[in-house]
Amino acid sequence: MANKSVFAATFGRLLPNATARNLAEAKAYAYSDAHALAQLAMTGTFGDAFYQDTPPQVNRLLALAESVEPEFLAKTVLHVRSKGHMKDTPAFLLAVLARRDPALFALVFNRVVDSGRMLRSFVQIVRSGQTGRKSLGSRPKAMVQAWLNAASDRVLLAASVGNDPSLADVIRMVHPKPETAARAAFYAWLIGKPADTAALPQVVQDWLAFRAGATAEVPDVPFQMLTDLPLTAEQWGQIARKGSWQMLRQNLNTFDRHGAFAVAGVAEHVAQVLRDPAKVKAARVLPYQLMATLKALSARVSPSLRDALHDAMELAVSNVPALQGLVAVCPDVSGSMSSPVTGFRKGATSAVRCIDVAALVSAAVLRANRAALVLPFEVSVRPCVLEPRDTVLTNAAKLAALGGGGTNCSAPLAWLNAAKTAPDLVVFVSDNQSWVDAAHGAQATGMMAEWAKLKERNPRAKLVCIDIQPYGTSQAQEREDVLNIGGFSDAVFDQIAAFARGEMGADHWVGQIEATPL
């Protein structure tokens, strides 16, 4: 018999050598600077994560933003804001771009700063000095001035809610030149200076009259401007009837506590708004936000509102593709996935964990692909029986209940190989910090070794790894049949579909960002 050590199968020797160590000190593959920037920008929330605290994340994000070409940085900012719906990281990267390339900064500013909150975040980050300067500079100052002058009265009034910095701080900082007497009075009122009340916008006059008790009609002002006033249940009901989709989602318990839903027709109106397809789309709701709302919803709130949130969730993941062939989806349910998906943030830590998001993505894929295999894993694959007809949130809760144990990203692929099953598409949702299989003898990761075995049975198979934490490495090296993407928004479903259809090039996700028009 031939010497097996000489004539061994070649696939093991052709595996790509690991190029890095992950934060669990196991073999991994490092991302390119461009990919690492995109992944960190789509998942980083400036909160402490399981394996890494906030300062290293900020320093890493800054270093990556400095390492790429300014044009790619500008496109990443646009992608992260428009597709990922992120808030802090696009403001941070925009501040870096303002220093690196003022012309590109001016080109994308208004597409990134699309709300008063984003404006205040951008100014706060620049003034913090974290991006290399502490003053706005002439071009950013001019852009902020133009934004303030172009904003409607209602947008400015909404922007006036919040501090550090407040809108008044921003106005004092940049000194916008009002173009009308009405806007001059409004700016004066916003910064606490004497103003001609008759020249103020009508909505401000209405709020002043309501606060003074001159009228019982609740003005159409930001919700936060009313909460410290003594309101009746009927008035709370009026606020609910005028509320935006996101405001209603975030304050269901508050409305219930103040008796708004006991007012005839209010609960029915709010339920209709929450399940309205056009409003759900316009709100750019992240599926995990709906999960957080349902987790926090008081048992006293009307069941009709809970049902409406379930309907909204179905709409929020309605772009999950129906995929050709056999699909396997593998949510990581290990112990590290118990950390909050947006990190530990003092006073603002999300109740939604990484494991909840992994379970949510898996349940959404199963809903659109009812023959899909669902293989939750930690050290090994955990059995879990799911009913595809159940709601996405019901199945997500079943998967999330499996949490605990070490991380072994090769386990689902090993399970498929042992079962001699070779799916056409395998989707992982993980933090990628595999360590249980670190003793694998080859220089490749255990995951790539098992993937090579699966590919021998199905050469057309494709692997998608959704990374939901900003750690910067993967267990699967990106190539024609392997896609690494970051994030936990519904944008990942579009990317999975494009990859499965063969519409993404060799550079995969980074290529999509590079195709973003400036």
The DSSP call for residue 422 is -
Pair of tokens at residue 364:
């959404």
Query: How many percent of the chain have pLDDT more than 70?
Result: 91
Residues 148-177 pLDDT 10s: 999 999 899 989 988 889 999 999 999 999
- Report angle CA 318, 320, 325 to the nearest 5 degrees: 140
Q: Classify each residue of 265-295 as buried b or exposed e, where b means 16 or more C-beta atoms within 10 Å of its C-beta.
A: ebbebbbebbbbeebbeebbbbbbbbbbbbe
The answer to whether the beta carbons of residues 355 and 377 sit under 8 Å apart is no
Across 489-499, average pLDDT: 79
Of 49, 37, 29, 21, the C-alpha closest to 74 is 37
The DSSP call for residue 427 is E
Tell me which of 60-69, 119-128, 504-513 is least confident: 504-513
The answer to whether the beta carbons of residues 451 and 463 sit under 8 Å apart is yes
Q: What is the residue extent of each domain of the chain?
A: 27-82+86-217, 222-316, 322-514
Tell me which of 97-101, 202-206, 435-439, 509-513 is least confident: 435-439
* Count of C-beta atoms within a 10 Å radius of residue 471: 28
- In this structure, are strands 327-331 and 373-374 parallel, antiparallel, or unpaired? parallel
Look at residue 346 in the predicted model and tell me its pLDDT.
57
Give the dihedral sign, CA 188/194/197/203. Answer: positive
Look at residue 355 in the predicted model and tell me its pLDDT.
86
Look at residue 343 in the predicted model and tell me its pLDDT.
58
CA-CA distances (angstroms) from residue 217 to 160, 190, 230, 238, 260?
Answer: 22, 23, 13, 8, 15
Residues 40-61 pLDDT 10s: 887 765 654 433 445 677 888 8
Tell me which of 74-83, 132-141, 491-500 is least confident: 491-500
For tokens 């003022």, the residue is 102
* pLDDT tier, 390 (very low <50, low <70, confident <90, very high otherwise): confident
**Helix (H/G/I), strand (E/B), else coil: 426:** strand
Residues 237-296 pLDDT 10s: 999 999 999 999 999 999 999 999 999 999 999 999 999 999 998 887 878 788 889 888
Across 349-375, average pLDDT: 85
Across 455-465, average pLDDT: 93
The mean of the pLDDT values for the chain is 86
- Provide the terminal-to-terminal Cα distance of the chain, rounded to the nearest Å: 63
Residues 303-351 pLDDT 10s: 999 999 999 988 888 878 788 899 999 999 998 888 877 655 555 556 7
Look at residue 44 in the predicted model and tell me its pLDDT.
64
Q: What span, in angstroms and rounded, lies between the C-alpha atoms of 295 and 503?
A: 37
Across 189-196, average pLDDT: 93
Pair of tokens at residue 98:
């303002």
CATH fold group of domain 322-514: Rossmann fold (3.40.50)
Question: In this structure, which amino acid lies at residue 52?
Answer: Q
Rounded to 10 deg, the angle between the 287-296 and 392-400 helix axes is 80
Q: Is 46 left (phi over 0), alpha (psi -120 to 50) or beta?
A: left
Residue 5, pLDDT > 60, answer no
* Higher pLDDT, residue 198 or 223: 198
* Higher pLDDT, residue 224 or 84: 224
Residue 7, pLDDT > 50, answer no
| 453: Cα separation from own chain's centroid | 34
Across 193-203, average pLDDT: 92
Strand order of the sheet with strand 27-30?
20-21, 27-30, 473-474
Across 370-376, average pLDDT: 93
- Maximum Cα–Cα distance across the chain: 100
Q: Which of 185-194, 288-297, 477-486 has the highest mean pLDDT?
A: 185-194
Q: What span, in angstroms and rounded, lies between the C-alpha atoms of 154 and 201?
A: 9
Strand partners, 328: 373, 426
3-state secondary structure 351-373: CCEHHHHHHHHHHHHHHHCCCCE
Query: How many percent of the chain have pLDDT more than 90?
Result: 47
**Whole-structure pTM value:** 0.82
Q: Is 259 left (phi over 0), alpha (psi -120 to 50) or beta?
A: left
List of E strands, 373-500: 373-374, 425-430, 462-467, 473-474, 482-486
Strand partners, 486: 467
